[in-house]
């Protein structure tokens, strides 16, 4: 793991593994926020492609000047810390666990405060030549209780991951969503490999991820109850990884920290 990330606890039950990791304050953490996390949050790759394409359309100084307002990278108001929490989860999984995100889901938001239905995380787990679909959920919480409220109830992470593991209509919609975003592009081979593994396993070979972003003291009960509940449901070869990421700043401060501003 990166130097600013330390393992606090780890455990497993059946097909479910859970881990607590702590991020420490310092320059490396700040770079992670302002580079890796900001890149996901603001979709810098998509913004760059958009700007390059628009610039190619202008053939005069007048046209180029009028394009300036359109091609400025979006730094819209982030709002509360949950959106940054989702970007932290994506950046962490990509950096530390070989998860590939072929599409930035922020491109599908019509409302800056909207949450997309189905799953927060949709991508591929890449392990050498083996590629699996990766689906998951992210929760961000300052709740002093353990486990926090976001893990419980119908809309809690535990139930959402259970639904992802059992609801094949939902899984089909997520796979179809991925297909249209991978077809004819650099991730088409990943999609084909993951699809072959999924079908060949009787629709069981995929990976689930649950990420909990916390600004509280590490406590294994944040995840252990969920892990034990899901272990009674999941069967081989489906596998689930739960992560609690303990950050060194407040959740409320994340929108400022991701821009490089400390409160």
Query: CA separation (Å) from 127 to 101, 165, 207?
Result: 14, 21, 12
- Please write the tens of the pLDDT for every residue from 106-146: 766 544 444 455 799 999 999 999 999 999 999 999 999 99
User: Is residue 263 in a domain?
Assistant: no
Lowest mean pLDDT among 66-70, 128-132, 154-158: 66-70
User: Is residue 49 in a domain?
Assistant: yes
Residue 42 has a pLDDT of: 85
Residue 73 has a pLDDT of: 47
- Please write the tens of the pLDDT for every residue from 184-240: 999 999 999 999 999 999 999 999 999 999 999 999 999 999 999 999 999 999 999
| Measured distance between the N- and C-terminal CA atoms of the chain, rounded to whole angstroms | 27
Residue 105 has a pLDDT of: 72
How many domains in the chain?
1
48's tokens: 């760059």
- Calculate the average pLDDT of the chain: 88
pLDDT band at 176 (very low <50, low <70, confident <90, very high): very high
User: Is residue 145 in a domain?
Assistant: yes
User: Is residue 224 in a domain?
Assistant: yes
Residues 6+ apart with CB under 8 A from 91: 32, 36, 37, 39, 40
User: Is residue 262 in a domain?
Assistant: no
At residue 198, what are phi and psi to the nearest 5 degrees?
-60, -50
- Given a cut of 50, whether residue 37 has pLDDT beyond it is yes
Percent of the chain with pLDDT over 90: 75
More confident residue, 70 or 125: 125
161's tokens: 């991951």
- Given a cut of 60, whether residue 20 has pLDDT beyond it is yes
- Given a cut of 90, whether residue 89 has pLDDT beyond it is yes
Structural domain range at position 13: 5-257
Give the mean model confidence (pLDDT) for residues 149-168: 96
More confident residue, 104 or 3: 3
Residue 223 has a pLDDT of: 98
Residue 81 has a pLDDT of: 85
User: Is residue 195 in a domain?
Assistant: yes
User: Is residue 232 in a domain?
Assistant: yes
Reported pTM: 0.87
> How far apart (Å, rounded) are the C-alpha atoms in residues 46 and 50?
6
Q: What is the 3 state secondary structure string of 162-197? A: HHHHHCHHHHHHHHHHHHHHHCCCCCHHHHHHHHHH
User: Is residue 121 in a domain?
Assistant: yes
* Neighbour-count burial for 131-166, b at 16+ CB within 10 Å, e otherwise: bbbbbbbbbbbebeebbbebbeeeebbbbbbbebbe
Query: Minimal CA–CA distance to 191: which of 96, 102, 91?
Result: 102
């Amino acid at each position: 793991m990166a130097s600013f990330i330390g393992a606090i606890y780890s455990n497993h039950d059946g097909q479910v593994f859970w881990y607590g990791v702590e991020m420490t304050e310092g320059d490396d953490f700040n770079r992670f926020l302002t580079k890796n996390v900001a890149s996901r949050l603001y979709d810098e790759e998509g913004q760059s492609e958009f700007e390059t394409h628009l610039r190619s359309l202008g053939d005069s100084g007048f046209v180029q000047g009028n394009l300036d307002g359109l091609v400025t990278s979006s730094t819209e108001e982030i709002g509360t810390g949950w959106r940054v929490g989702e970007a932290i989860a994506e950046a962490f999984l990509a950096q530390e666990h070989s998860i590939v995100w072929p599409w930035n889901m922020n491109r599908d938001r019509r409302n800056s405060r909207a949450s997309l239905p189905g799953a927060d995380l949709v991508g591929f787990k890449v392990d050498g030549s083996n590629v699996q679909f990766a689906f998951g959920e992210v929760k961000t919480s300052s709740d002093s209780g353990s486990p926090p409220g976001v893990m419980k109830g119908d809309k809690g992470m535990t139930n959402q991951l259970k639904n992802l593991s059992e609801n094949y209509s939902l899984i089909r919609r997520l796979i179809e969503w991925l297909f249209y975003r991978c077809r004819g592009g650099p991730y088409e081979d990943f999609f084909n490999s993951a699809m072959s593994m999924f079908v060949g396993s009787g629709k069981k070979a995929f990976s689930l991820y649950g990420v909990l972003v916390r600004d509280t003291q590490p406590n294994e009960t944040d995840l252990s109850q969920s892990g034990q509940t899901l272990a009674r449901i999941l069967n081989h070869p489906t596998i689930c990884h739960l992560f609690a990421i303990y950050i060194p700043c407040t959740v409320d401060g994340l929108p400022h920290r991701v821009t490089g501003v400390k409160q």
